[in-house]
Amino acid sequence: MLGLKKGMLVYDLGSGTGDVVIHLARKYKVKCVGIEIDPLKVLLSKIRISRAKDLRTLIEIERKNFLSVDLSKADAIYLFLSGGTKIMKNLEPKLLRELKEGVKIASYVHSFQKWTPEASVRDIKIYSISNLELNV
């Protein structure tokens, strides 16, 4: 769905305890950056990653608010935000401003209000940054 290939850079915005970044790094050999605001979850995910030799070089976890992180190098974005509509709304202008042409965004459960997904698979909606300006 995200067209992931070895070496691509994927951001998980709100990476929790690292389940998704670990899965993506293992399955697709992509580089992952997990951004997580909760220090305990950051610690747990770092411990999990440090124990797995194959993941150490592929995953970075940063304790930050993703609204203040530069996303301009991302090749793909994943998010599952329990905060729902409000946080998604705050993210819309940031993603449009910072993401490169062609970047895809996968959002689990929650939708962006103003944007039309290019695909939808079960609870995951896929948005392509190339199509979004047309929908704003």
Ligand X SMILES: C[S@@+](CC[C@H](N)C(=O)[O-])C[C@H]1O[C@@H](n2cnc3c(N)ncnc32)[C@H](O)[C@@H]1O
Q: Are 93 and 115 in contact (CB under 8 A)?
A: no
Contact residue for ligand X among 14, 24, 30, 115 (CB under 6 A): 14
As measured in angstroms, the least distance from the Cβ of 116 to ligand X is 23
CA-nearest of 29, 11, 6 to 105 is 11
Length of the chain equals: 136
As measured in angstroms, the least distance from the Cβ of 134 to ligand X is 27
Q: Is 98 in the site for ligand X (CB under 6 A)?
A: no
Give ∠ CA 27-33-38 in degrees, rounded to 5. 115
Between 14 and 117, whose beta carbon lies closer to ligand X?
14
Q: Is 112 in the site for ligand X (CB under 6 A)?
A: no
